[in-house]
Amino acid sequence: MQWRDVSQNWAAYTPRILTQWPNLNESEVLSIDGDQDAFLAYLSKSKGEDRVAAQMELADWLMGGEPIDVKMAEQNDNANINGSAANVPAGEDVTDDDAKFGDDNKAAAPIGRAS
């Protein structure tokens, strides 16, 4: 993950932040609104450690993957839908019913047997 993504979707990342650091106060985390310096200051103060230790913890957390609930957040829906159009083969209209294509009406072969 990149901090830029976290700060742009701060409200969606807040539950993940609170899962990682359960001792933080939700309303205070929300009030930080994606400001990395403010978050590091709050994290180091709440844990009673220096800023470098807080930066290392944050860097470790950012190494993790983007949570699916953030990817599917309402503000990202249109981008995800538009991005999925890139997987539609040339000549196929993205609004066409998928049942017209492929083998949707064909019965599946029994497991372990060729059709």
User: Which pLDDT tens digit goes with each residue over 27-81?
Assistant: 999 999 999 999 999 999 999 999 999 999 999 999 887 666 666 566 666 666 6
Domain assignment of residue 10, given as a range:
3-74
* Residue at 106 is within a domain: no
Token representation of residue 45: 């103060």
Tokens coding 78 = 């249109």
Is it the case that residue 24 has pLDDT exceeding 70?
yes
Residues 6+ apart with CB under 8 A from 93: none
Q: Are 52 and 109 in contact (CB under 8 A)?
A: no
For the entire predicted model, the pTM comes to 0.59
Contact 12, 73 (CB under 8 A): yes
Q: What is the CATH number of the domain that holds 39?
A: 1.10.1470
- Domain tally for the chain? 1
**Would you state the pLDDT for residue 73?**
60
The answer to the question of residue 103 being in a domain is: no
